Amino acid sequence: MTTLFRRSELHSLAAPYALDALEPHEHKRFEKHLRRCDSCAAEVRALREDAVRLAWSTAAPAPAAMRDRVLMAVRTTPQETASGEPQARARAERPQSRARRSGFSPFLIPLASTTAAAALVVAALFGVQAARTQDQLDQERAQAREIAHVLAAPDARATAGRDANGQGISVVASASERTAVVTGAGLGTPSNGRVHQLWLMLPEVKPRSLGLLDGDTPLIATGLDTNATSLAVTVEPSGGSAQPTTAPVVQLALESVGFGE
Amino acid sequence: MEADELLVLVAGGDQKAFEELYGLVSGPVFGLVRRVVRDPAQSEEVAQEVLLELWRSAARYDPGRGSALSWVLTLAHRRAVDRVRSARAAGERELRVARRSNGPAFDQVAEEVEAGLEREWVRRCLDRLTALQRQSVTLAYYDGYTYREVAERLSLPLGTVKTRMRDGLTRLRDCLGGVA
C-alpha cells in the first residue's frame, strides 16, 4: 500500500472522501491537502451534497423513546466552544464565591444555557474549526458512546442540582444498568492541588468513592448500588481520600433517577 | 426555522432550538444510520450518539463549508461507518458472509425502499447509473466499505473504483437536479 500520493492522486480521492470510503491514513492526508487546495474543497463540498441525497432517501421515523432520551441528555451535557474546549474553561473569569454550602437545592436546570453568551463570543472569535488532537477526539467519542449507552437503558433519567453560586453536578443514571454519568458544573479547581472527589452515599454504610471529578469532564460510574440515596462531592487532598475528610460542597439526591427505596 | 439558523442557536445553548432541530433531522439521521448499521439496537445507539454530538459540537458547524443538513448527515454517516467498520474488524464474519451471499448492494437497497418521492427519485437515478458506478457508490455509502474494499469486492483496479465513484455521484447530481 502506498502512503505517498502525487497531487493528481490526491485529487482523485475527493469522491471516496465524500463517501467516507478512505482508509484512516488516507483520510488524514486528504484533509490536510484540503486545507491548502481551494478547488478540492469546492469539489468535495459538491460531492458531499450529492452523497447526502443518498442519505435523504433513507429517512425513517426515529423511535419516540429516543427523542425523550436525547432531549433529557441535552439538559445535562456540556457543550464545546468553537475552539473545541469545554465551556467551563471559557468562563474562567466568572467571580467565585466561597460561600458554597449555603442554600444548595436540587432542581432541573438547563446547565448549558448559562454559558450561552460565552459560547457565542468564542464562536465569533474562532470562526474556523480549531485543531484538536486525535487523542482528544477519540476520548470525547468514547465518552459520547458511554453516555449514549447509559441513555439507551429504558429507565434512564436525568437530574441536576446546583447551589446559588452555580456549583453543582448533573446526572444521567439508569438503575437497571447500575450506571450513572456525572458531570460537574461550575465547580472550578480547588486550590493547593486539592481535588474534587465524588461519593456514593449509602444508607447505614460508609460512603463509597466513585473517583475524582475533573472540571466538566463526565465521570462514568458503574456498578452502583441500587439502594444509594445520593451523590456528594467533597474537596480532598491531591489523589483523593479513602473516606470524605470535609463536608460536601455539593450533594444530590438520587431518588428522582430511580435509586433508593 | 431552517437547520442553519437553528444550529447557531443550538451552539449558544438554546434547548428549544435543539428540540426544533431534532424534529428536522432525527428521521434522516436515524434512517441513514439504520441503513448502514442494520442492527436496530445498535442503530438507535449510534443515532442517539450523533444527535447528542450535534448538541455538544454545534459550535463547530461552519456555514462556509456547506449546508447544515449536509453537515449533520455527514456526521451521522461517519459515525455509522465507524460502527460497521469496527464491528467488522472485531470479526463479525457471519455478517460479511451474509452480505456477500446477498449479491450486489443495490438489490438490498431495492428491497428495502419504501414509498416516498425522494426515495423513488433516488432509486430511479441510481438505476440510470452503470452497474459499476452504482455498486461503487452504494457499497461505499450504504454498506460502509472503503474504496479499497470495494475494489477488492468488485475485482477492479483502485483507480477505476475512484473514477466510478466520482462519475456515479456526478451523474446522480445531474439526474436529481440541484434542488434538495
Question: Of B31, B62, B91, which residue constitutes the final position of a domain?
Answer: B91
CATH of the domain at B83: 1.10.1740.10
Task: Report the pLDDT value the prediction gives residue A249, as an integer from 0 to 100.
Answer: 83
Per residue in A190-212, pLDDT tens? 888 899 999 998 888 888 999 99
Whether B96 maps to a domain, the answer reads no
- Where would I find the H helices in chain A? 7-11, 14-18, 24-36, 38-56, 64-76, 87-90, 116-125, 134-151
Contact flag B140-A20 (C-beta cutoff 8 Å)? yes
Per-residue model confidence as pLDDT tens digits over A211-241: 998 877 788 888 898 889 889 998 899 889 9
Calpha distance B86→B89 (Å, rounded): 5
- Listed in sequence order, the residues at least 6 apart from B78 whose beta carbon sits closer than 8 Å to its beta carbon are A20
Window B:80-139, CB contacts with A under 8 Å: 81, 113, 116, 118-119, 121-123, 137-138
* One domain, residues B46 and B79: yes
Chosen from A19, A108, A125, A151 to mutate, greatest number of chain B CBs within 10 A: A19
Residue B44 located in a structural domain: yes
Between residues A4 and B64, which one has the greater pLDDT? B64
| Beta-carbon separation of B28 and A58 below 8 A | yes
Which of the listed residues B41, B57, B91 is the one where a domain comes to its end?
B91
> In this predicted structure, what is the pLDDT of residue A89?
38
Q: What is the mean pLDDT of residues B81-100?
A: 71
Alpha-carbon distance B121 to nearest alpha carbon in chain A (angstroms): 8
Q: Which three cell numbers stand for residue A189?
A: 479547581
pLDDT at A108 over 50: no
Residue B138 lies in a domain: yes
A154 or B46, which is more confident: B46
Among B54, B70, B91, give the residue marking a domain's end: B91
Mean pLDDT of A98-123: 32
Chain A residue whose CA is closest to B60: A82
Confidence label for A84 from pLDDT (cuts 50, 70 and 90): low
pLDDT at A123: 31
User: Does B27 fall in a domain?
Assistant: yes
Q: What is the mean pLDDT of residues B65-80?
A: 91
Q: Which of B24, B36, B49, B119 to mutate against chain A (most A CBs within 10 Å)?
A: B49
Handedness of CA B153, B156, B157, B163 (dihedral sign): negative
Q: Which long-range contacts (CB under 8 A, 24 or more apart) does A167-171 make?
A: A167/A100, A167/A249, A167/A250, A168/A104, A168/A106, A168/A111, A168/A250, A168/A252, A169/A198, A169/A213, A169/A231, A169/A233, A169/A250, A169/A252, A170/A75, A170/A76, A170/A111, A171/A76, A171/A231, A171/A252, A171/A254, A171/A257
Q: Does B170 touch chain A (CB under 8 A)?
A: yes
DSSP SS3 for A213: strand
Same domain, yes or no: B116 and B63: no
* pLDDT at position A83 over 70: no
What is the H or E stretch that residue B86 is in?
Answer: helix B68-89
If pLDDT is split at 50, 70 and 90, which confidence band does A176 have?
Answer: confident
**Judgement on whether residues B115 and B61 belong to the same structural domain of the protein:** no
Q: Place B28 in a pLDDT band, splitting at 50, 70 and 90.
A: very high
Q: B76 and B124: one domain?
A: no
Give, in degrees to the nearest 5, the angle at Cα B58 between B54 and B62.
125
User: Regarding predicted confidence, which is higher, B77 or A98?
Assistant: B77
pLDDT reported for residue B122: 83
Q: Are A159 and A252 in contact (CB under 8 A)?
A: yes
Ramachandran angles phi, psi of A252, nearest 5° = -135, 125
Disruptive mutation site among A58, A87, A134 for chain B (greatest number of B CBs within 10 Å):
A58
Can you give the pLDDT at residue B93?
52
pLDDT top residue among B91 and A116 = B91
Mutant choice from A3, A8, A20 vs B, greatest count of B C-beta within 10 A: A20
Same domain assignment for residues B107 and B86: no
> In this structure, are B106 and B175 located in the same domain?
yes
B27 touches chain A (CB under 8 A): yes
Confidence of residue B167 (pLDDT cuts 50, 70, 90): very high
Quote the percentage of chain A above a pLDDT of 70. Answer: 73
Min CA distance, A61 vs chain B (Å)?
5
Report residue A200 as a C-alpha cell. Answer: 456514593
* Claim to verify: residue B107 and residue B84 sit in the same structural domain: no
Residue B160 counted as domain residue: yes
Nearest CA in chain A to B123: A57
pLDDT of residue A132: 53
Angstrom distance (rounded) from CA B43 to CA B26: 12
**How do beta strands A179-185 and A230-236 pair?**
unpaired
Lowest mean per-residue pLDDT among A1-10, A30-39, B28-37: A1-10
Asked whether residue B57 is domain-assigned, the answer is: yes
Which residues of chain A neighbour B47 with C-beta distances below 8 Å? 62, 66
What is the predicted ipTM?
0.84
Confidence of residue A22 (pLDDT cuts 50, 70, 90): very high
How long, in residues, is chain B?
180
Which pLDDT belongs to residue A107? 34
Decide: A228 and A173 in contact? Cβ < 8 Å. Answer: no
Residue A198: the pLDDT is 94
Mean pLDDT along residues B10-27: 93
Higher-scoring residue by pLDDT: B31, B66: B31
Amino acid letter, A113: S
Q: Is residue B129 part of a domain?
A: yes
Whether the Cβ atoms of residue A7 and residue A40 lie closer than 8 Å to each other = no
> Structurally, how many domains does chain B consist of?
2
Same domain, B84 and B121: no
In angstroms, the separation between the Cα of residue A203 and the nearest Cα of chain B is: 34
Do B77 and B113 belong to one domain?
Answer: no
Which has more confidence, A242 or A130?
Answer: A242
CB A172 within 8 A of CB A180: yes
- What average pLDDT does the segment A140-163 reach? 75
For residue B62, which phi and psi values (nearest 5 degrees)?
Answer: -120, 105
For B119-152, the pLDDT digits (tens) are 777 888 898 999 999 999 999 999 999 999 999 9
B109 and B34 share a domain?
Answer: no
Q: What is the mean pLDDT of chain A?
A: 74
| Closest A-chain CA to B150 | A21
pLDDT score, position B137: 96
**pLDDT for the residue numbered A81:** 72
* CATH number for the domain harbouring residue B159: 1.10.10.10
* Cβ contacts of A112 on chain B, cutoff 8 Å: 13, 15
Give pLDDT, residue B15: 92
Which has more pLDDT, B26 or A189? B26
Q: Which domain holds residue B76?
A: 1-91
- How confident is the model at residue A6, as a pLDDT? 66
Assess whether pLDDT exceeds 60 at residue B113. Answer: no
Whole-number Å distance between alpha carbons of B133 and B162: 10
Task: State whether B76 and B154 are in the same domain.
Answer: no
The pLDDT of residue B64: 79
Looking at the fold, whether B26 and B58 belong to one and the same domain comes out as: yes
**Residue among A112, A123, A92 nearest A185 (CA):** A112
Q: What is the pLDDT of residue A244?
A: 87
The whole-number average pLDDT for the span B105-123 is 53
| Pairwise CA distance, residues A158 & A150, whole Å | 11
CA distance linking residue B153 with residue A234, whole number of Å: 58
pLDDT value, residue A31: 92
Q: What is the pLDDT of residue A215?
A: 77
Decide if B97 is inside a domain.
Answer: no
